[in-house]
Structure 1
């Protein structure tokens, strides 16, 4: 005979999680904050307090998951490593992503890219900003930061989607695996071109940093980590950008506030990634017997760390389902935590909060959600807008 907790967890479907995971998460936080969910093949961890606690214990809650979908798609990346191995690869990639370098070197390039994209549609009076601004801008910026010269916005977005779909392919769809394989081969070829170039002539890019680090990475490590940077480093700024734009357009008080005080764009960005965490779930594996959320977990147990749920935990955030840039400051976990805190945090903040949002709303003052289109969202492992149709008065 099943339990109420078990019956609910057994009833969860991937389709429901994709459409809107938040009601499911709310119930899990209430009745089973660490729950075995068969369709995910792992325990879903949904409470803020449990997630922040486990991230401080990487020796127990390991990133090195056996049978990782990410490893299958991308190779053995730094995100699936712990300890010295993780620190070594992170240290090699980190220098171009530090705040001082981002501000001095990358931000002016982000501004040029944003203005060029706006120039391409500003006279038209309508656009789908997901397809024409958020996606291409995140792709163009990321290709530049990685050092992938000559790679198109379209290819970067296609590769990113293939990596994300593969990393979240809990339905074991063979077509998803094949798309990820083809994209991986194309990424490897582009990386080879960049490695050859920056080996001769170092530059400010991440690939160059990994090649010329005091303890350089080998080609397989570079390939794997470029794939994970493409998989997560494109969708996070793209999705936080589109969610933030949509939230501002549908919250008049917020819009008035940021127009009056542009310093509030940083708050818009942080609230957007709390409200809809772009990377909504990531895996961990239990390394030693432990109790979490009232559940005893044995070594080898697989976990799904649901940051999308933690960021809407009512014990931490008042009215968590509302977008509110004036809410009392609380620590969201959209960038993860502990040793695996997101390496691209400062790049994301710069390109979204400092560049994309203020530039777009400054150049198109009467931007509005189109009355003729549909804004759609989807996802749970990765979540964000799928469309953002807008209109304005052409100049």
Structure 2
């Protein structure tokens, strides 16, 4: 008996399959060019055209969403005899799944020799390679073939993933240098200045970006304060000052702010500012770096957008391939800041590939009951800035300070 989709697959897998079914219906029912429709569906589903063709072949048989689920109801028959399957499994376990971690080719030669000795048709190298993930799980392979315990640790589930039920329940803040898919910055007649640093604050529940700060200096208490001042306050005046006509209504005080262990997040100024505005701090120290996945993915997404501009440094020296990034740089700092702002606003209006939801729509739907504070950007900035107390010396009758 076939199980119901909800009983054997997650809601996310079902939503992905349902979205693919809608796109495939447009292909099958459309009257235009089939090739153009497949290219458009591939772009909408973030797949290759070959993957769309494969999905279409499965879907056109009975036109059900279930046929598009991972695994689906497909039952591929094994074309090898049971005796050959037994020889493959036994030989792989004896000679390949060992701590010495030998290459696969000599093991395949042994399998073929054993099959020929038994009077069976020897399998190909590709056939044996395809049997490995079916016979052994990733954890078993890492445990038996590797002496490095970190390989097994990376495969195990790590507790503590950051979840948030409502907007502003959990926010994340992080930086990225511009040497990761970023553009070089020029000022005043094409004089090379250097690379900028980007800091953003993102909301985990809605995946909205609440604020950003672009600086030419390395991340510091100042860049954190500027970023939080933009995230906590309305941005209407800022958008007008930068010549941006699009809306950016996301702002508010986070209840929990997740950061890494950088020194700018460990200072007294940052901790005092968070206490002043009722923000709890959670550090993702060693062993919990995966808890910053949301903000790190969004930083990578913004870098990918900015990498299309002239002067991109590439992901690495090899990726740049002697591209003259400094000579090709053509954006001023103001242009770069405006480009980042437009990329942030565009992200808030795009459907998230993982949640299949639009961040701006989720924000509008869930923020009606949020408490709004009339925070002033300058006051927020000063609250997160470091400061020191100094004593003014007393003056005598002649206006001179006492010793």
Query: TM-score scaled to structure 2, two decimals?
Result: 0.20
Q: Which has the higher helix share?
A: 1
Q: TM-score, normalised by structure 1?
A: 0.20
State the structure with bigger RCO (CA 8 A, min sep 6), 1 or 2: 1
